[in-house]
């Protein structure tokens, strides 16, 4: 994939304009205003004066849009949601966790929260369906599935230090 073609132009008294030409030769620009606002513009064809869209965003709105556009924006915690009201999330176990070195069964996760731990990610390894005798370690990432409330409760339990 070719690198995106970008350029920037200082706009005295206003801020800086950033221009992007996409692979499909579409042109976009963002004016970063000195007050933190942003103006996002999209242009028609090759005519830099044929603006098809212009939206002024507050700093917070621009930040939210930037996060949505980033490839890493997909939440590493949220994996999926179904019509049944179940969510799957990743919960990282800290090195200082109360559960570091203890057995998974000791957490009483399913009994206390109704959540199932369907896998543990440890370094470059995935351990599917760990049983109650599985020993947890700091840095483990647990893949849990349950209701929103259950997953939130599981995060509190696993976050215990």
Q: Using 50, 70 and 90 to split pLDDT, how confident is the model at 2?
A: low
The answer to whether residues 81 and 146 touch, using CB atoms and an 8 Å cutoff, is no
For residue range 51-72, what is the model confidence (pLDDT) as tens digits?
888 999 888 888 888 777 765 5
pLDDT at 1 over 60: no
Q: Is the pLDDT of residue 73 over 50?
A: no
Predicted pLDDT of residue 99: 93
Residue 85's pLDDT is what?
78
Q: Report, at the CATH architecture level, how domain 78-158 is classified.
A: 2-Layer Sandwich (3.30)
For the chain, helix (H) and strand (E) counts, in that order, are 3, 10
pTM metric for this prediction: 0.51
Structure tokens at 35: 């007050």
Stretch (H or E) spanning 81: strand 78-81
Closest-CA residue to 57 (of 79, 41, 78, 76): 41
Write down the pLDDT at residue 66: 79
pLDDT tens per residue, range 95-138? 899 999 999 999 999 999 999 999 999 988 899 999 999 999 99
- Quote the percentage of the chain above a pLDDT of 90: 39
Q: Is the pLDDT of residue 153 over 60?
A: yes
The residues spanned by each domain of the chain are: 5-73, 78-158
Q: Is residue 147 predicted with pLDDT exceeding 80?
A: yes
State the average pLDDT for the chain.
84
The pLDDT-based confidence of 82 (bands split at 50, 70, 90) is low
Which structure tokens are listed for 28? 């976009």
Q: What count of other Cβ atoms lies within 10 Å of the Cβ of residue 60?
A: 9
- Give the per-residue pLDDT at 159: 86
């Amino acid at each position: 994939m070719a690198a995106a073609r970008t350029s920037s132009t200082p706009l005295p008294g206003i801020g800086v304009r950033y221009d992007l030409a996409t692979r499909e030769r579409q042109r976009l620009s963002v004016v970063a205003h000195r007050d933190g606002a942003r103006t996002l513009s999209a242009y028609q064809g090759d005519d830099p004066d044929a603006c098809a869209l212009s939206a002024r965003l507050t700093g917070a709105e621009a930040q939210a849009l930037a996060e949505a556009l980033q490839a890493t924006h997909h939440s590493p915690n949220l994996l999926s949601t179904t019509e049944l009201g179940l969510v799957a999330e990743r919960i990282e176990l800290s090195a200082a966790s109360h559960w570091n070195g203890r057995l998974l069964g000791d957490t009483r996760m399913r009994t206390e929260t109704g959540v199932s731990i369907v896998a543990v990610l440890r370094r470059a390894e995935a351990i599917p369906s760990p049983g109650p005798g599985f020993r947890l370690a700091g840095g483990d990432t647990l893949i849990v599935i349950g209701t929103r409330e259950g997953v939130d409760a599981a995060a509190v339990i696993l976050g215990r230090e």
